[in-house]
Amino acid sequence: MNLETSIVGIKLKHPLMNASGVLGYTREHVLRLVKYGLSAIVTKTITPKIKKGFDPPIIIDLPNGGMLNAVGLENPGKEIIMELVDEAKKHSVPIIVSIGGINEQEFIEVASTANDIGADAIELNLSCPHTRGYGIEIGSDPDNVYSVVKSTASVVSIPIIAKLGLSDRIIDVAGKALEAGAKALTLINTIKAIYIDVYTLKPVLTNIFGGLSGPPIHPIAVRVIYEIYKEFQPEIIGCGGITNWLDAAEMIIAGARALQIGTALRNNPQDTVNNILKGLKEWLTMHGFKNIYEVIGISVR
């Protein structure tokens, strides 16, 4: 069974890639994800200069199977891009550089570096829910999104992917991102949440708020993918709570043509990837489909 697909012109042997935030900062981290069998690598969100994250605790495993994190976009700055791209190219695996910034100029600066070094695409993080001045604070305003995407797309030759988060104006935001030149959308990022310890009577994360990921957000992500695919039929990378082939299949029939896995890669990552791919093949065969393209967005049609 053929699981080949493509996103922004990048051919993928199957739809599974990692979500931004899973990858570390070194060549070894790229190699680890390559060995899991992912079809493409997505970097951590990279800012122009070194950015210190929040103090621990920054990650909490929740009783409902989800995870709450407030890393704070910690990263070593744009100089690391060359090492990560070089390692991915060594293994002939496409690499998408996730970038963040506090203003248009910062997005442009990192995007230009990724473009010049030879990344395959850029994913604009317009949706981080827990770092003040970044992410969702920019990405919840359609006009801001239009400006950032437009200005960034104007200085690079590689495709721009806009990663959007949950907001009351998500349809408008998606439309503006596409209008400004985004070739695809990643839907969705983690969702702003809080966890309070009933014994200490205080929030557990030092940042108080974090991004909720994992199974609890999956139905929300599917809903957003469905609505935006129905409205615009764009190329979509589905992201949010994928743990098995059923979750993956649901996102594909809602409109996603590629998928990102984050939280599920923390435990038994190799088995997770293999089981999802095996399940997707058997599912397509069961329905009599020949490839992924036949089923993308079929629930919307």
Any idea what the CATH number is for the domain that residue 176 is in? 3.20.20.70
* Per-residue model confidence (pLDDT) at position 291: 95
* Per-residue model confidence (pLDDT) at position 131: 61
Q: Please choose, from the candidates 65, 67, 24, 61, the residue with its C-alpha nearest in 3D space to the C-alpha of residue 211.
A: 67
* Per-residue model confidence (pLDDT) at position 267: 87
pLDDT in tens, 148-159: 999 999 999 999
Q: How confident is the model at residue 110 (pLDDT cuts 50, 70, 90)?
A: very high
- Of 86-90, 118-122, 127-131, 217-221, the one with minimum mean pLDDT is 127-131
The reply to whether 299 falls in a domain is: no
Summarize the annotated binding site for substrate as residue ranges.
44, 69-73, 125, 189-190
Residue 50 pLDDT exceeds 80: yes
The reply to whether 301 falls in a domain is: no
The residue annotated as part of the active site, out of 128, 180, 265, 292, is 128
Structure tokens at 138: 């920019």
Structural domains of the chain, count = 1
* Per-residue model confidence (pLDDT) at position 223: 98
- Give the global pTM: 0.96
The reply to whether 222 falls in a domain is: yes
Residue 137 pLDDT exceeds 80: no
The reply to whether 112 falls in a domain is: yes
Residue 130 pLDDT exceeds 70: no
Higher pLDDT among residues 120 and 133, named by residue: 120
Share of the chain above pLDDT 90, in %: 84
* Per-residue model confidence (pLDDT) at position 2: 87
Residue 132 pLDDT exceeds 70: no
The reply to whether 300 falls in a domain is: no
* Per-residue model confidence (pLDDT) at position 129: 66
pLDDT in tens, 263-299: 999 889 999 999 999 999 999 999 999 999 999 999 9
Average of pLDDT values for 125-135?
Answer: 71
pLDDT in tens, 239-266: 999 999 999 999 999 999 999 999 999 8
Residue 238 pLDDT exceeds 80: yes
Is 128 known to be catalytic? yes
The reply to whether 226 falls in a domain is: yes
Q: Where are the alpha helices (DSSP H) in 42-126?
A: 81-90, 104-117
CB 190 within 8 A of CB 217: yes
Domain limits for position 244: 5-294
* Per-residue model confidence (pLDDT) at position 146: 94
Q: Please choose, from the candidates 133, 160, 40, 30, the residue with its C-alpha nearest in 3D space to the C-alpha of residue 83.
A: 30
What's the CA gap between 52 and 274, in Å, rounded? 35
Structure tokens at 189: 């990022």
The reply to whether 201 falls in a domain is: yes
Average of pLDDT values for 194-214?
Answer: 94
Q: How confident is the model at residue 205 (pLDDT cuts 50, 70, 90)?
A: very high
Q: Is 162 helix (H, G, I), strand (E, B) or coil?
A: strand
What's the CA gap between 143 and 125, in Å, rounded? 16
Summarize the annotated binding site as residue ranges.
20, 44-45, 69-73, 125, 163, 188-190, 214, 240-241, 262-263
The reply to whether 35 falls in a domain is: yes
Cis link prior to 188 (omega < 30° from 0)? Answer: yes
Average pLDDT in the chain: 94
